[in-house]
C-alpha cells in the first residue's frame, strides 16, 4: 500500500507538483549513486532537534514577525551531513525555472522563479523519501497548529539551495506562489546573507544551524536573499499547497 502524507488517502508520490522538474532538465532517474553518508537515507529521530521531538509546539516556535515563525528544526550534525552529501553528489544546476503556475489549470499563468543554484533531492535516490517522512512526522503537526484550517494537498519537489559569491550570491525580491514556505538554514560558514522581509524590516541574519522559518506565500510576504560576500550558504527549501 502506498505511503500517505495525510489521512486523506492521497498517495504520497502523487502530491508532488511537476515531478519531472527534479534534477537537470530531461535527465533520467539517477542509478548507481553511492552515498557519502548512508545513515541519512533512513529516517531517524536523531535528525530532529530535541525540542521538536518533545512535541510542545508552544514552547519552541517563535513568531518573529507577522506569520514568520522560527524554531530549531534539525540538529547541526544532520545539517552538516546533508550539506556534505549534496556536495558529494555534485548535481548542482544554476537556472531560472519558468513553469506553469500550479494554482492555474490553463497553462497561461506562469511562475517565474529567480536565478538560483539548486540540487533536487531526487538526485540523491532515497533521500526524498526521508524528507517526506520528516514532513509527515515532524512538520505537519507544526503547520496544522499554526494554521488549523490548512492541510497539505500538494507540494513542490524539495531541494537544497546554494549561494556562493562567484556564482549566485543572492536572490532578489520575490514572492512564493505556494501556500506555505519552509526554509531551513543548513550552515553558518559564510559572511553576509540572511532572508529579508522588507514589510517588517525583518532579517533572519545568520541563525543557528538547523533553524527553520515558516511563512505564507503570496504578496503579503515578499522577501529576498541578501548577498553573501564569502563562504557558501546552504538552505533546504520546501513548498506546500
Residue 205, domain CATH:
2.60.120.620
Kindly state whether residue 6 falls inside one of the protein's structural domains: no
pTM: 0.90
Kindly state whether residue 159 falls inside one of the protein's structural domains: yes
Kindly state whether residue 30 falls inside one of the protein's structural domains: no
For 166-176, give one letter per residue: b (16+ CB within 10 A) or e.
Answer: eebbbbeeeeb
Q: What is the CA radius of gyration of the chain?
A: 17
What average pLDDT does the structure give for the chain? 89
Kindly state whether residue 71 falls inside one of the protein's structural domains: yes
Kindly state whether residue 14 falls inside one of the protein's structural domains: no
Q: 9-13, 105-109, 230-234: which range is least confident on average?
A: 9-13
Domain assignment of residue 199, given as a range: 36-165+182-240
Kindly state whether residue 21 falls inside one of the protein's structural domains: no
Residue 135 pLDDT > 70: yes
Residues 223 and 195: beta-carbon distance below 8 Å: yes
Tell me the pLDDT band of 22, cut-offs 50, 70 and 90: low
The domain total for the chain is 1
Kindly state whether residue 54 falls inside one of the protein's structural domains: yes
Over the stretch 64-122, which tens digit does the pLDDT of each residue have? 999 999 999 999 999 999 999 999 999 999 988 777 777 776 667 777 778 899 999 99
Pairwise CA distance, residues 235 & 159, whole Å: 8
Amino acid at each position: 500500500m502506498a505511503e500517505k502524507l495525510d489521512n486523506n488517502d492521497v498517495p504520497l508520490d502523487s502530491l508532488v507538483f511537476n515531478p519531472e522538474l527534479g534534477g537537470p532538465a530531461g535527465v533520467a532517474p539517477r542509478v548507481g549513486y553511492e552515498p557519502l553518508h548512508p545513515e541519512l537515507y533512513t529516517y531517524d529521530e536523531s535528525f530532529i532537534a530535541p525540542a521538536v521531538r518533545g512535541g510542545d509546539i508552544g514552547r519552541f516556535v517563535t513568531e518573529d514577525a507577522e506569520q514568520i515563525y522560527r524554531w530549531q528544526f534539525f540538529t547541526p550534525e544532520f545539517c552538516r551531513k546533508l550539506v556534505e552529501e549534496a556536495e558529494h553528489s555534485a548535481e548542482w544546476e544554476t537556472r531560472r525555472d519558468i513553469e506553469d503556475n500550479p494554482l492555474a489549470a490553463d497553462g497561461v499563468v506562469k511562475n517565474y522563479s529567480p536565478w538560483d543554484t539548486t540540487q533536487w533531492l531526487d538526485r540523491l535516490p532515497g533521500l526524498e523519501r526521508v524528507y517526506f517522512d520528516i514532513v509527515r512526522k515532524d512538520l505537519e503537526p507544526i503547520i496544522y497548529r499554526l494554521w488549523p484550517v490548512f492541510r497539505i494537498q500538494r507540494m513542490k519537489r524539495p531541494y537544497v539551495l546554494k549561494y556562493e559569491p562567484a556564482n549566485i550570491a543572492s536572490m532578489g525580491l520575490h514572492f512564493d506562489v505556494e501556500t506555505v514556505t519552509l526554509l531551513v538554514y543548513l550552515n553558518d560558514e559564510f559572511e553576509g546573507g540572511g532572508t529579508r522581509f522588507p514589510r517588517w524590516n525583518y532579517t533572519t541574519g545568520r541563525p543557528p544551524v538547523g533553524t527553520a522559518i515558516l511563512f505564507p506565500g503570496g504578496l503579503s510576504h515578499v522577501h529576498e536573499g541578501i548577498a553573501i560576500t564569502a563562504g557558501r550558504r546552504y538552505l533546504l527549501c520546501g513548498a506546500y499547497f
